[in-house]
Amino acid sequence: MRSNKKKVNDALRSAGTEHARERTANVIRKLRAAMATIDSEMASNDGIYPHNFGRLTQVEVCRRAEVAKITLYSPAHIKTTRTEVRDWISSHQIKNKLAARNASVKRDVFWKEEHAKVASQICLYEQQLIEKDIQIKMLREEINVLKRKSPLRKEDNVSNLKE
């Protein structure tokens, strides 16, 4: 009986260890994916992090990875993953706060201009729609006038079409 209990405990212990390894690997995968995403965002924004007012911190990386910031301080991550994230952040420091602010302003101006373009295009389409509605109304009236002036009756038109 005692040996069965030991086997069960050993099985539970190994299953728990395996689950912990998977969880750790999952956290590392999420953090690395977030760092890769941040790299690509910074590359497309002149080396400036486009979120959080240009500040890139461990907390920000954890937020982007959807990992609790305290996770980096756990025994499984404090000497490995946390060091990797810290080194990565130190190699990606922003140029300065003014550059980050200017980049933010440039993005704001760009999107305001894009919004204005879309709004003017919508106004143009609305005007074209009104013109087309007027044209359709005029053509329908013309069709009605032609139908009234036609010497052929409706039944004759139908029989002509069938032949």
Note down pLDDT in tens along the chain; length 163 residues: 456 666 667 777 888 788 888 988 999 999 999 999 998 988 887 777 878 877 888 999 999 999 999 988 988 888 889 999 999 988 877 666 666 666 667 777 888 899 999 999 999 999 999 999 999 999 999 999 888 888 765 555 555 555 4
pLDDT of 3 reads 64
Helix (H), strand (E) at residue 64 = helix 58-65
> Domains in the chain: how many in total?
2
pLDDT of 46 reads 74
Q: Give the gyration radius of the chain's Cα atoms.
A: 34
Rounded Cα gap, residues 31 and 64, in angstroms: 8
pLDDT of 115 reads 93
Do 27 and 71 contact (CB within 8 A), yes or no? yes
The last residue of a domain, from among 51, 67, 95: 95
Shared-domain flag, residues 54 and 102:
no
Instruction: Flag whether 163 is in a domain.
Output: no
Instruction: Flag whether 31 is in a domain.
Output: yes
pLDDT of 150 reads 80
pLDDT of 154 reads 58
Rounded Cα gap, residues 108 and 101, in angstroms: 11
The last residue of a domain, from among 49, 76, 95: 95
Q: Tell me, what DSSP letter sits at residue 53?
A: G
Where residue 160 falls (left for φ over 0; alpha for ψ -120 to 50; beta otherwise) is alpha
pLDDT of 66 reads 92
pLDDT of 98 reads 65
Shared-domain flag, residues 87 and 103:
no
* Structural domain boundaries, residue 78: 1-95
pLDDT of 101 reads 67
Shared-domain flag, residues 125 and 143:
yes
**CB-based contacts of 76, cutoff 8 Å, min separation 6:** 20, 24
The last residue of a domain, from among 95, 116, 144: 95
Structure tokens at 134: 């007027």
pLDDT of 155 reads 56
Shared-domain flag, residues 38 and 109:
no
How would DSSP label each residue in 80-106? THHHHHHHHHHTT--S-HHHHHHHHHH
**C-beta neighbour count of 35 within 10 angstroms:** 18
pLDDT of 138 reads 95
Do 32 and 39 contact (CB within 8 A), yes or no? no
